Amino acid sequence: MRLLKVATCNLNQWAMDFDSNLQHIKASIQKAKASGATVRVGPELEITGYGCEDHFLEPDTITHAWECLKDILAEDLTRGILCNIGMPVELSGVRYNCQVFCLNQKILLIRPKICLANDGNYRELRWFSAWKHRHQLVEYQLPSIIADAVSQKIVPFGDGYLSFIDTNIAAETCEELFTPDAPHIGLALSGVEVFTNGSGSHHQLRKLNTRLELIQSGTYKSGGVYIYSNQQGCDGGRLYYDGCACIAVNGDIVAQGSQFSLHDVEVVTALVDLDAVRYHAPEEEIALGPGCWLWDYLRRSGASGYLLPLSGGADSSSVAAIVGCMCQLVINAIAEGDEVVKSDAIRIGQYTNGDFPTDSKEFAKHIFYTVFMGSENSC
C-alpha cells in the first residue's frame, strides 16, 4: 500500500490582517504536522484574506503577502510537509490569484488561477487576470525579499503539477471546480492522483450540496484524492464563508470539517491509500496492461518462457520492453508477499534449492529468449 496522510483546513481569515492570518496559517500547518500529515492545503488567498477588494490593486498588498510567506519559509514549518498556500502574485505587471506549493523551506511551483469567479458576489476580474496559457510553465523571478531568504531565485509558474516518486499532485482553485472543463479532468487522465483546491466560497442556501456533489463526481469518474479547503467566517465584508473543508476519495467524502463554527483554525485529516485510487497515465496503461496479459498467458499455458524473434524494428523492440514490464510486475508482486505469483515464478523460471526471483533483469534471463531474424528492412 502507498499510504498518504493529508490535511486540509477551515481558516477564519480577516481581509488585510496579515499578522492574524499568518498566525492561523502557521497554526494549521503545525496541527497538520502533529497529526502526521505530509500534505497541507489552505484556503484561497489565505495570506491576505479573500475580501480585500481594491486593496489587491495596491502593490503593498502583494509585498506584505511575500513577507508573510518569507516568515513561513524561514521557520521549519514546511520541513517534511507539502504546503499549498493561497496568495496574490504579480508576473510582468499582471496580478494573479495563486496557489504556492512549498516544501522543505523551498517554493516548488506557483499555480495561477485559470478560471476566475466574476458573477453574483464575485468580481475577481476587477483585481486579477486569468492564466490563459494552459499546460504551460514559465520561469518566475522571485522577489529579492524572499529570494535572499530561501536562497532561491527561479520558480516554475503556470499550469503544471508536481511529480513525486510515489504520486502526482495538482491544484484547482475554487471556481475551476464549477466549470465544464474543470482542470482535474485532464489532469486525472495524465496520471495525477491527488488534487488540492483552495477556495473562498461563501454560504448560500444548499450551495454546499452542489460543491460536495462536484467534488464527489470528479473523483468518482476519474478516481483520486480531492483535498478541499475553504475560508470560514466573515472576513470584513458582507459574505459568510462556510468552511466545510473536506477530503474525498473515489467519490466518497472520508473527512469533513464544520460548516458553521466560531473556531479560527480547524484542521481535518485523512489517511488514504493511493493504490486504491490509482489512475494510470496512457504510457503506463500501454506497458502494464499487456504486461499483465503476458504473465497470465505464460503462467496458464504451461510454457517455460517467451521466444522473441528480433528484427531491429519498433514492433519487436516494443514487445521486448513489455516483457521487461511483465518481469517488473512479477518482482513487485513477490516483494509484496504474493505467494501465488512467487510459486508461479519459481515453476516457470525453474528455480531450485529454495531460490526465487528477486530482480526483474535476472528473472528475464530465466524466461525470455531472443533470436535475430533480419528482414529486408533491418539495418
The H or E element containing residue 207 is helix 207-222
Place 278 in a pLDDT band, splitting at 50, 70 and 90.
Answer: low
Cell triple for residue 83? 504546503
What is the pLDDT at residue 274?
87
Q: Summarize pLDDT for 184-234 with one digit per residue, the tens.
A: 988 988 889 999 999 998 888 888 889 899 889 888 877 899 999 999 888
Give the whole-number percent of the chain exceeding pLDDT 90: 68
Residue 222, CB half-sphere, CA atoms under 13 Å: how many?
Answer: 25
What is the pLDDT at residue 190?
86
What is the pLDDT at residue 379?
60
The one catalytic residue among 217, 311, 316, 360: 311
Active-site residue flag, 44 = yes
The one catalytic residue among 90, 102, 113, 244: 113
Output the pTM of the full model. 0.79
Q: Summarize pLDDT for 306-345 with one digit per residue, the tens.
A: 999 988 788 888 999 999 999 999 999 999 898 989 999 9
Pairing of strands 162-163, 168-172: antiparallel
Cell triple for residue 14? 480577516
The one catalytic residue among 52, 98, 174, 244: 174
Mean pLDDT, residues 35-51 taken together: 97
The one catalytic residue among 33, 44, 175, 199: 44
Count of Cβ atoms closer than 10 Å to residue 194 Cβ: 25
Place 267 in a pLDDT band, splitting at 50, 70 and 90.
Answer: very high
Q: Between 108 and 179, where is the model more confident? A: 108
Active-site residue flag, 174 = yes
Active-site residue flag, 311 = yes
Contacts of 339 (CB under 8 A, 6+ apart): none
| Alpha carbon distance 356, 345 (integer Å) | 7
What is the pLDDT at residue 219?
86
| Alpha carbon distance 19, 224 (integer Å) | 35
DSSP per position, 246-305: EEEETTEEEEE--SS---SEEEEEEEEEGGGT----HHHHHHHHHHHHHHHHHHHHT---
What is the pLDDT at residue 277?
72
Q: Summarize pLDDT for 156-166 with one digit per residue, the tens.
A: 999 999 999 98
Q: Summarize pLDDT for 190-202 with one digit per residue, the tens.
A: 889 999 999 998 8
91: pLDDT strictly greater than 90: yes
Give the whole-number percent of the chain exceeding pLDDT 70: 98
| Alpha carbon distance 264, 66 (integer Å) | 22
Among residues 63, 31, 59, 61, the alpha carbon closest in space to that of 49 is found at 61
- Residue 46 is classified by DSSP as T
